[in-house]
Chain A
Amino acid sequence: MKPNEYFIEVGSHQHSKFGQPVAGDVFVSERSGDEGRTITILADGLGSGVKACVLATLTATMARRFVAADIDVRRAAEIIMATLPVCRQRKIAYSTFTIIDTRADGSVQVIEHDNPPFMLLAKNPKTAVQKEQFAIQSQSTGQRNLYYSRFQLEPEDRIVVCSDGVTQSGMGRKEMPLGWTDSAAGQFVSDLVSRDPGISARDLSRAVVLRANLNDHRKPSDDTSCAVVYLRRPRAALIATGPPINPAKDVALANTVRKFDGKTVICGGTTANIISRELKREITIDLSTRDMNVPPPSSMKGVDLVTEGTLTLSAGAELLEKNVDPEAAEPNAATMLLKHWLDSDIIRFLVGTKINDAHQDPNLPVELDIRRNLIKRIVRLLEQKHLKKASIEYI
């Protein structure tokens, strides 16, 4: 596998137990350094709600740090168990976890403690996972068994991990007295992937959680979480925003958009007008969505989305920050932009640096026309919070 030919996409979806505002399952993911190492953790704290959330957050955060620092997993697990606070009622300190440590070359190590076993959806039926069991001592819960496995992920392979809220969903119903079960959930995932072989990690994890919630008649009896790690050919997006400082570059801007192999988005009225003029393609505004803060989107032939600039990008940055699911949000230009970002792996920003004189009016909000800072913030959020690869090029 050549470097950069494949991309490790990580997606997760979660629904907390019915009536609980906070989930006790915590999902943490981090891309460490430039080597493309991706650490993904799903932890399920004892109980539900805030207490479980604290336990799971502690577990996931410690696990991430220990794995990133290459501390022996056995030792790391012992430290985690010894550090977790003891529940006053149950007198135990407990959280499950699954740690998936994926390298850019596709080699993976997985450490599991009490979550349902991960599923490997490998193209090659010969890919076998040998799990090595090892025991550690916990002061409050005695001997705990952990499982360690190491294998090679091939392009288009996926790892799926769920909390027990998924596999036990629907428990007690006549048709599933023991709940959905690991095997039925696994069957659901493989059916879905065979029907839609390119399904993204984000869409697959959402489908699993939504199905689990349906098993519970939309009132989940536990926190339901699913995370997917997918080694796929990267999907690229180009975001063109801002007019070039030198109008002689207008043609180059338009041609970059025209020739780009991937999704194209234009953010900015003047930018869209330049590209429309150069490519002789009309812009049509779509007034079907109404939002007081975000101007309406437009469309242009051959371009996936056209939006206004600064306001929409700022709103998009807020959505990235708050981890909003675009499918569940009110549709407007910012949520449409968010969807394009999240559906892509490698996002290139082409930023024109011409200052918009109209934004210099002191009566306007000061947030306007800080395009360069705004794009830097978006790139940071895309890379650190959403594990995308993003780059900026100024024109």
Chain B
Amino acid sequence: MTNITVKICTGTTCYVMGASQLLSLPQLLPEGLASRVLVEGANCLDFCKNGQHGKAPFVQVNNTVIPEATIEKVKEAIRQAAETD
């Protein structure tokens, strides 16, 4: 059952700022969580265009935008999404 969608922006800015590492997320998710998460790459999500969302790299977990995303930050957002579900 997948009900959490994770979109990793692979636009230029995000890729340079760390999205290339974030793409290994599926291998790093704990087993209990992995089956509920769909990890997708995304074309530029346009969050970098104005300062209002913070800084690249951006990841979107369901509808939450995570600026300056790291594997740890994204895992945490997934855990939260799983709990509130």
Say whether A and B bind each other: yes
The chain A residues found within 8 Å of chain B, CB to CB, are 268-270, 272-273, 276, 283, 285-287, 290-293, 295-296, 298, 306, 308-311, 356-359, 361, 363-365, 368
A308 touches B15 (CB 8 A): yes
CB distance from A242 to the nearest CB of B (A): 11
B 72-85 to A, binary, CB cutoff 8 A, 1 in contact else 0? 00000000000000
Q: How far is the CA of A306 from the CA of B41 in the complex (A)?
A: 13
Assuming the contacts A273-B46, A285-B42, A285-B43, asked whether A308 and B13 have C-beta atoms less than 8 A apart, the reply is no
Q: How far is the CA of A288 from the CA of B12 in the complex (A)?
A: 19
Q: How far is the CA of A268 from the CA of B44 in the complex (A)?
A: 8
B 41-76 to A, binary, CB cutoff 8 A, 1 in contact else 0? 111101011100001100000000000000000000
CB distance from B43 to the nearest CB of A (A): 5
Assuming the contacts A269-B11, A308-B10, asked whether A368 and B43 have C-beta atoms less than 8 A apart, the reply is no
B13 touches A295 (CB 8 A): no
Taking CB atoms, residues of chain A closer than 8 Å to B15 are 295, 308, 311
A269 touches B12 (CB 8 A): yes
Taking CB atoms, residues of chain A closer than 8 Å to B29 are none
User: Which of A290, A296, A309 touches B12 (beta carbons < 8 Å)?
Assistant: A309
Taking CB atoms, residues of chain A closer than 8 Å to B55 are 361
Size of chain B's interface in residues, with CB distance under 8 A? 23
The answer to whether B16 has its CB under 8 Å from any CB of chain A is yes
Q: How far is the CA of A273 from the CA of B47 in the complex (A)?
A: 13
In chain B, residues 1-46, which have Cβ atoms closer than 8 Å to a Cβ of chain A?
10-13, 15-17, 19-21, 23-24, 40-44, 46
CB-based nearest B residue for A365: B16
A364 touches B43 (CB 8 A): no
B23 touches A359 (CB 8 A): no
CB distance from B77 to the nearest CB of A (A): 20
User: Which of B16, B24, B50 touches A368 (beta carbons < 8 Å)?
Assistant: B16
Q: How far is the CA of A286 from the CA of B40 in the complex (A)?
A: 9
Assuming the contacts A285-B10, A296-B10, A311-B12, asked whether A269 and B43 have C-beta atoms less than 8 A apart, the reply is yes
Taking CB atoms, residues of chain B closer than 8 Å to A306 are 43
A311 touches B16 (CB 8 A): yes
Q: How far is the CA of A357 from the CA of B49 in the complex (A)?
A: 6
For the complex with contacts A272-B44, A285-B43, 17 further pairs of A-B residues with Cβ separation under 8 Å are A268-B44, A269-B11, A269-B12, A270-B11, A270-B44, A272-B43, A273-B43, A273-B44, A273-B46, A285-B40, A292-B20, A296-B10, A308-B11, A358-B12, A358-B56, A361-B13, A361-B55
Jot down 9 A-B pairs with beta carbons below 8 A, ordered by A.
Answer: A276-B43, A292-B21, A295-B11, A295-B19, A311-B12, A357-B50, A358-B13, A363-B17, A365-B16
Closest 7 CB pairs of A and B: A269-B44, A358-B48, A285-B41, A269-B11, A295-B10, A295-B15, A269-B43
CB distance from A331 to the nearest CB of B (A): 15
Taking CB atoms, residues of chain B closer than 8 Å to A269 are 10-12, 43-44
B12 touches A310 (CB 8 A): yes
Q: How far is the CA of A298 from the CA of B40 in the complex (A)?
A: 12
Taking CB atoms, residues of chain A closer than 8 Å to B44 are 268-270, 272-273, 308
Q: How far is the CA of A80 from the CA of B40 in the complex (A)?
A: 60
Taking CB atoms, residues of chain B closer than 8 Å to A292 are 20-21
